[in-house]
Structure 1
Amino acid sequence: MQITFPAFYKEFSCIAGACPDTCCAGWQIMIDDRSLKKYRHFKGAFRNRLYNDIDWKEQAFRQYDHRCAFLNEENLCDIYSEAGPDMLCDTCRKYPRHIEEFEGLREYSLSLSCPEAARIFLSRKEKTTFVTIEKETPEETYDDFDYLLFTALMDTRDYLISIVQDRNLPMELRRHKLLACTHDFQLALDKNELYQWEDIRARHQSSGVGDTFLAKIQKWTTSRTDPVTYRKQVWKAVIPEMEVLRKRWRKYLHETLLPLYTACDSEEKFTSCCQEFLAACPDWTIQEEQLLVYWIYTYFCGAVYDDQIFAKIKMAVVCTAMIHDLAVGTYLANDHHFTFYDLVSICYRFSRELEHSDLNLNEMERLMDEDEIFAFRNLLLI
């Protein structure tokens, strides 16, 4: 079995009570069968607490005021302190470690929804790299696993990440190239012409972002909706379809985006605000790169199960753009002041609403695939 993980993966260590937004609050924590059995047969004074504060029917910890029943006033876990670390359920023991499973390969990452993981990830200035090791573990066989497609996806992902990490290019051109490549890959897969992928990749590598490519981009983006109107349409398309996990989420979006779209009611004003934000927060370009790499690494190869190549890259671009808008909105709302920890907060809050709901992830991907708002030429406006 091969195991792949980001080079910084092992830097993570839970900061427990010092966490600014504990993972033990805000959503329901499900309990695996093995842990439920351990809780049911636990001996000692803590047994009654376990029995009373577990919803055995739902297989979840009870919540009080949206906090896990075992989360104490110091934001520490009573199960950990009273029963020991071995009594943590799978969810609590593994989080924020995220695993994507494929035949012969497991890919590990740190979830952006964890404040400490987000801090580690966003503070990195160097390009993200990945480590692959061999580990002796029982391998599972997946029925109908398309290994040929998976190999093509792995090779393609390497190329896509190299595009995103090409710091010789402006980020706008990296995004355009990313979208153009995956648009072509998706067309080939839809036609059952997987054999063309190497030729497509070679063509894009040789053409780069030269005059021919730039002319096509210019042609595709002529006489269309202005970028400010388009970004508003993106929010209006996505948010009403999303399940709300935290009560204040939509109020937070309103309070953060209103200053942005009030101040930036034209393309010129929006561009000016973005340039001012970038001047005040020069690390944003690298952080944008890291965010794109995060979404691509975590989700792209999952297309082996659903063929949704382009939708996954669209989601990467759109999610990063939405985080950008929240960052600029926060900058304006805070009287032109923005800190690194403001960005960390935006990212983990956004991730918690999207990535901790299968319904939201599935709906986001459906929108990317079906809604005309997210058509290729429209996304070039971001």
Structure 2
Amino acid sequence: MQITKPTFYKEFSCIAGACPDTCCAGWQIMIDEKSLQKYRRFKGSFRNRLHNDIDWKEHSFCQYDKRCAFLNEDNLCDIYSEAGKDMLCDTCRKYPRHIEEFEGLREYSLSLSCPEAARIFLSHKEKITFFTREVAAPEETFDDFDYFLFTALMDTRDYLFSVIQDRSIPVRLRRQKLLACAHDFQLSLDKNELFQWEDICDRHQKSGYGEKFLNKIQKWNNDHPVSSEQPSKDSTSDTVSLLALCKQIWRTVIPQMEVLRPGWHTYLRKTLVPLYGSCQNDTELTEIYAAFAHDYPDWTVHEEQLLLYWIYTYFCGAVYDDQIFAKVKMAVVCTFMIHELAIGTWLKNNRHFTFEDMISICYRFSRELEHSDPNLNEIERLMDEEDVFDFRNLLTI
């Protein structure tokens, strides 16, 4: 069995009561069967509470006001303090460590939804790297696992990593290359022509970011006129209005998502209104973007790291559903949404923005998306089916 981890993986250590938020509120915490057996057999004065505050039918901890029943007023776990750390269930013991399972491979990451994990991740200004090693562990066989496709996805992801981390190139062009590659890879998979993947990589490497690549992007735009369902065109050009497009992305995504924490929609409204409400046209919006980039230059590195995070965590999952392009679109859109929340926060705070603000935005966004399988499935469906997430539009944002 092989395992892959980011090099910063072991830097994480729970900061417990010093954490600005808690991982024990806002979602249902499921209990593994082994832990349930331990809770059933537990002896001592804590036994009654343990038994009364577990939903044995749902295999989860009870909640009060969306908080785990065992989360005390100091945001510490009573199971840990009363019964010991060995009594924590798998979910509580492992979080924020996240595992993606493939045949013969486990990929570990730290979830962006944890404030301390987000701090560790975002504080790395150097290029993020990963290590893979063999471990003695039984290998599980997955039914109908397409190993040929998985190998192609792994090789493709390595190439996408190199695109994302090429700091000699402006991030905007890196995003466009990322989308163009994924678009071409999806076409080859749809045509059952996986043998062309190496040629696609070679072609994109040779075209680089020069005139040939830019001409290809322009040709794609010319060959795919904007649908009537798309946001309105700017009256002064033949391109989609950036301001209208940005608003439409939020209007398309947010109503379809379940809310995990009370106040999420209020937070979005209070954060985004200062941004979009202050702009009358694309020129004003791009001027605000430029001013934020000037005031918070670390965003360039954060954008690179965030794109890498989404691609590392979800891209190879396409082996199970063939949704290559949708997963890359999701990476671009999620990074875009965090960017807009950052600028909205900057404006709301009188053009003041800190690293702590960025951490807060990332873990709040991640908690609403990544801790809900329905939300993850829905956003991927939207990427695949909604016109607003057309390739041409995503080249624009």
TM over 0.5: yes
* 2:344 is equivalent to residue 329 of structure 1: yes
Q: What is the percent sequence identity of the aligned residues?
A: 74
| Corresponding position of 1:137 | 137
| Corresponding position of 1:242 | 257
| Corresponding position of 1:365 | 380
| Corresponding position of 1:276 | 291
CA distance in 2 between partners of 1:180 and 1:141 (Å)? 33
CA distance in 1 between partners of 2:64 and 2:393 (Å)? 44
Aligned ranges 1:1-382 → 2 under 5 Å: 1-220=1-220, 223-382=238-397
TM-score, normalisation: structure 2: 0.95
**1:140 partner SS:** coil
**1:14 partner SS:** coil
Tell me how far 1:217 sits from its aligned partner: 2.7
CA distance in 2 between partners of 1:121 and 1:43 (Å)? 40
Tell me how far 1:123 sits from its aligned partner: 0.8
Write the letter of the residue equivalent to 2:377: N
CA distance in 2 between partners of 1:123 and 1:66 (Å)? 31
CA distance in 1 between partners of 2:66 and 2:322 (Å)? 37
Tell me how far 1:183 sits from its aligned partner: 0.2
CA distance in 2 between partners of 1:218 and 1:330 (Å)? 34
Tell me how far 1:59 sits from its aligned partner: 1.2
Query: Does the Cα contact within 8 Å between 1:4 and 1:133 map onto a contact in 2?
Result: yes
CA distance in 2 between partners of 1:315 and 1:79 (Å)? 37
CA distance in 2 between partners of 1:151 and 1:251 (Å)? 43
Gaps of 5+ in 2: 223-237
**Deviation string for 1:89-138 (max 9, x for gaps)?**
00000100000000000000000000000000011100010010110001
**2:277 partner SS:** helix
**1:245 partner SS:** coil
CA distance in 2 between partners of 1:140 and 1:318 (Å)? 34
CA distance in 1 between partners of 2:220 and 2:135 (Å)? 47
Query: Does the Cα contact within 8 Å between 1:54 and 1:61 map onto a contact in 2?
Result: yes
Query: Does the Cα contact within 8 Å between 1:31 and 1:89 map onto a contact in 2?
Result: yes
CA distance in 2 between partners of 1:11 and 1:266 (Å)? 44
Tell me how far 1:4 sits from its aligned partner: 0.1
Query: Does the Cα contact within 8 Å between 1:54 and 1:62 map onto a contact in 2?
Result: yes
CA distance in 2 between partners of 1:42 and 1:131 (Å)? 40
CA distance in 1 between partners of 2:290 and 2:309 (Å)? 24
Write the letter of the residue equivalent to 1:354: L
Tell me how far 1:62 sits from its aligned partner: 1.1
CA distance in 1 between partners of 2:114 and 2:221 (Å)? 37
Residues paired across the two proteins, number: 382
Gaps of 5+ in 1: none
Tell me how far 1:53 sits from its aligned partner: 1.0
